[in-house]
């Protein structure tokens, strides 16, 4: 129940273009942003709204309104930045944090180099952003950093997830919910997701 996979023809269609090695940087970046927006819609499907009285051009009414200040988006640098534009379209006044990590190519372990979040992050619901959930190492380290700051509710949003990464994260943090566009088959010997879509950061920023 702690994993939600978006199963929709439009998502599969967008993933088919995203995965294609012939897809260029501009289109790849746009698709990452679009799918992130859909993930955000799903992840916020049960948020609580405050009752607000407004006047329409016809009459007064009571309607639900989101307190956007209660939410924060935290991309894992650098690939997570590719998802940020999509999610802030949904909640434009949410606060933004950043966690910087890169993968050691020999040990495959994440190395942390930057951590900056809003000072009242402990009072917010946090959506952690990273296009790929591969080994789960970066996600686990990022979740640990947020929990050290007192964050109580964390959702992890990713485009592609591996079964191994999902298992590792939920084994460590049973209270975290994972939202992904697709769960792929497995990790290869180099810890890349198969069939995957390659290195998301390189394809987002055109660095390879």
Residue 104: CA count within 13 A, CB half-sphere: 9
Distance CA(62)–CA(185), nearest Å, equals: 47
* CB-CB contact of 35 with 182 (8 Å): no
130 is catalytic: no
* CB-CB contact of 100 with 77 (8 Å): yes
* CB-CB contact of 196 with 113 (8 Å): no
52 is catalytic: no
Per annotation, catalytic residue among 85, 103, 122, 141: 103
E strands, the chain, are: 3-5, 50-55, 60-65, 71-77, 95-96, 98-103, 110-116, 125-129, 132-133, 153-161, 177-183, 186-187, 193-194
Distance CA(197)–CA(175), nearest Å, equals: 28
User: In sequence order, what DSSP letters do the residues of 2-19 get, joined into one string?
Assistant: -EEE---HHHHHHHHHHH
Residues designated catalytic: 103, 107, 199, 202
């Amino acid at each position: 129940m702690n994993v939600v996979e978006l199963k929709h023809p439009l998502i599969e269609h967008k993933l088919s273009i995203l995965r294609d090695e012939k897809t260029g940087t501009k289109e790849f970046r746009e698709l990452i942003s679009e799918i992130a927006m859909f993930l955000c819609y799903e992840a916020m499907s049960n948020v609580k709204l405050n009752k607000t009285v407004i006047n329409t051009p016809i009459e007064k009414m009571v309607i639900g309104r989101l307190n956007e200040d209660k939410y924060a988006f935290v991309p894992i640098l650098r690939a997570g930045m590719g998802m940020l534009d999509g999610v802030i379209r949904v909640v434009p006044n949410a606060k933004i944090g950043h966690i910087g990590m890169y993968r050691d190519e020999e040990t495959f372990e994440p190395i942390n180099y930057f951590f900056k979040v809003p000072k009242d992050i402990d009072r917010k619901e946090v959506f952690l952003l990273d296009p790929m959930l591969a080994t789960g190492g970066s996600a686990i380290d990022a979740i640990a950093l947020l929990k050290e700051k007192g964050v109580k509710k964390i959702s992890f949003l990713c485009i592609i997830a591996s079964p191994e990464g999902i298992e590792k994260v939920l084994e460590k943090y049973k209270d975290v919910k994972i939202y992904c566009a697709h769960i792929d088959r497995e990790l290869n010997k180099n810890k890349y997701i198969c069939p995957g879509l390659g290195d998301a950061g390189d394809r987002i920023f055109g660095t390879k």
